[in-house]
Amino acid sequence: MLNFKELNIPQIKESILNYGLEKFYNEYFQWLREADKNLKSFLFFTESLVQKLIQNLKKEDINLPLYGIPIAIKDNILVKGERCTAGSKILENYIAPYNATVVDKLIKAGAIIVGKTNLDEFAMGSSTENSAYQLTTNPYDKGRVPGGSSGGSAAAVGGGLVPLSLGSDTGGSIRQPASFCGIYGLKPTYGVVSRYGLIAMASSLDQIGPMANNLNDLILLFEIIKGKDNKDSTSVNFPKEKLKPLTTQKIGLPKEFFDELDSQIKNLIREKIKKLKLEIKEISLKHIKYSLHCYYLLMPAEVSSNLARYDGIRYGKRIKNDNFWQIYKLTRQKFLGEETKRRIIIGTFILSHGYYEAYYLKAQKLRKAIYEDFQRAFKEVDLIIAPTSPTLPFKIGEKTSDPLQMYLSDIFTIPVNLAGLPALNIPIGFIDHLPIGMQIIGNVFDEYKIFELAKLTISSQ
């Protein structure tokens, strides 16, 4: 099979074309089923859709940027006519009635959607262990997690099963699994990619983003999915003047991120930074230490309201009963997982009378303070470099019994979502044969600045 880890999209396209699309996909699926038996990165494959997509591609489409390229989609993004489970039993039989905007864009660009990938239930988790269906393993160590919640999408790319995938990131779910699986993953500026057709977790934080084995492929995928969409009123057009950034001169290192970091990870990042030969400035983000508190108030509040629609009446599975309230209660009790219920309960509490002001409003103020910390920092520096994860990819089961330990996995990624900023995970090496990532964080719409610095990081290694 083609080596998706080493080849780039133009090379893959050429090889598939030479081989012939139909012949390639017949052999590819036989191989893919076998290759995913250990990883379990896919919840299911979309073989009949693949046949349709191949047939719809015409000879004159050959110049489309993703002509014939296989791509995996996180199973909280709708693909018309296919199941979309969001990793939950409550949506086990749910068939998507329409395409997410990003999926329409991919198909238009010639991509072939080969399957839907595993995730934590409703994208809530950091290890993909909250999936109601299966455990996905890390491509570098089958005793360890791939990260989460886009663990399936990260493992599929990191394990060389597909060259590209889409994930979603509410508090780190693209960047942390990308770091654990040794790949590139971008959380775009809030609003740059349409959320239409993404099963909502916390709408003010959710963003869809690209995952790939190399930077150029990631940029290509980002360019295809970005842009304003009338079906998502929070989406925006990417400003043209931001496509050609000025070169980065000054990098900020937030001291709060490095103070208590694992020393092996710290050293590896410092080594990379040194080689950049740019001006480095230590910065301080004063409110950053409250990010996790702020996130675990605002996110569950939004989750509790977004997930109210899974009532056994309108969507998905239902426990039959003569009493309406019993249908609602029993269906949610049986088909939602522990972590999901925990967040719904916390969120409902936070939004309830008398607590709204004490918790929700206070957290909103904190969110603004965190945003302002970043804005102050970007007056002094062009970009910020930070670790992606505080730890190496951890063992399966290691953190499942302690939600707080699990929540700490996202301590470096969550502030970026709270402030609506773009951030990229880039793989920077290995510790004990496990991949390590580093985050480049930019101001709003500074994706191309981030890409420039990422290129410099790669070329100076």
Peptide bond into 305 cis (omega under 30): no
* Smallest distance from ligand GLN to CB 185, Å: 11
Other CB atoms within a 10 A radius of the CB of residue 263 amount to 7
Residue selected from 201, 278, 350, 436 as contacting ligand GLN according to rule CB under 6 A: 201
Known active-site residue 149:
yes
Which residues, 6 or more positions from 75, have their beta carbon under 8 angstroms from its beta carbon? 43, 83, 84, 85, 86, 87, 116, 117, 118, 119, 152
Nearest by Cα to 413 from 381, 440, 392: 440
Of 85, 88, 131, 149, the one binding ligand GLN (CB under 6 A) is: 149
Site for ligand GLN contains 393 (CB under 6 A) = no
For residue 408, how many other CB atoms are within 10 A of its CB?
A: 16
Contact track, ligand GLN, 338-377, x by CB under 6 A = ----------------------------------------
- Is the CB of 149 or the CB of 248 nearer to ligand GLN? 149
**Shortest distance, position 202 Cβ to ligand GLN, whole Å:** 8
Site string for ligand GLN, 273-302 (x = CB under 6 A): --------------------------x---
Query: Which residue's beta carbon is nearest to the bound ligand GLN?
Result: 173
Q: Are 96 and 80 in contact (CB under 8 A)?
A: yes
**Position 298: which residue type?**
L
**Among the options 168, 173, 235, 291, which is catalytic?**
173
d(CA 326, CA 328): 5
**Radius of gyration for the chain, computed over Cα atoms and rounded to the nearest angstrom:** 21
Active site residue 41: no
- In the residue annotation, 179 being an active-site residue is answered as no
Q: Distances in Å between the alpha carbon of 225 and those of 66, 150, 186?
A: 12, 17, 12
Among 410, 446, 447, 452, binds ligand GLN (CB under 6 A): 410
Residue 367's Cα: distance from chain center in Å? 21
Sheet holding 383-387, edge to edge: 42-45, 112-117, 70-74, 164-169, 207-212, 184-187, 423-431, 434-441, 383-387, 250-254, 279-283
Region of 119-127, 316-324, 369-377, 425-433 interacting with ligand GLN (CB under 6 A): 119-127
Work out how close the CB of 434 gets to ligand GLN at its nearest, in angstroms, rounded to a whole number.
19
Alpha-carbon span 105 to 84, nearest angstrom = 18
Rounded to the nearest whole angstrom, what is the least distance from the CB of residue 410 to ligand GLN in the complex? 5
75 or 410, CB closer to ligand GLN?
Answer: 410
Residue with Cβ nearer ligand GLN (126 or 138): 126
State the minimum distance, in angstroms, from the CB of residue 347 to ligand GLN.
12
Task: Report the length, in residues, of the chain.
Answer: 461
Nearer Cβ to ligand GLN (109/218): 218
Among 125, 159, 197, 420, binds ligand GLN (CB under 6 A): 125
For the CB of residue 238, give the shortest distance to ligand GLN in the complex, in Å.
22
Place of tokens 């999408």: 153
Measured from the CB atom, the residue of 128 and 248 that comes closer to ligand GLN is 128
In the complex with ligand GLN, the residue whose CB is nearer, 235 or 340, is 340
Catalytic residue among 13, 40, 41, 74: 74
Written as six digits, the tokens of 86 are 């969001």
Residue 426: DSSP 8-state: E
Q: List the x/- string, 150-189, binding to ligand GLN by CB under 6 A.
A: -------------------xxxxx----------------
Among residues 41, 131, 149, 409, which one is catalytic? 149
Q: State in angstroms the smallest separation of the CB of 150 from ligand GLN.
A: 7
Closest to 151 measured CA to CA, from 176, 186, 114, 115 = 176
Question: Between residues 50 and 307, which has the closer beta carbon with respect to ligand GLN?
Answer: 307
The least CB distance from residue 170 to ligand GLN, in Å, is 4
Which residue blocks in 100-205 are alpha helix, DSSP H? 101-108, 151-158, 175-180
272 neighbors 301 (Cβ within 8 angstroms):
no
Q: What are phi and psi of 362, to 5 degrees?
A: -65, -40
Total residues interacting with ligand GLN, rule: CB under 6 A? 13
Please give the residue ranges that form the binding site for ligand GLN (CB under 6 A): 123-126, 149, 169-173, 201, 299, 410
Q: What residues are labeled active site?
A: 74, 149, 173
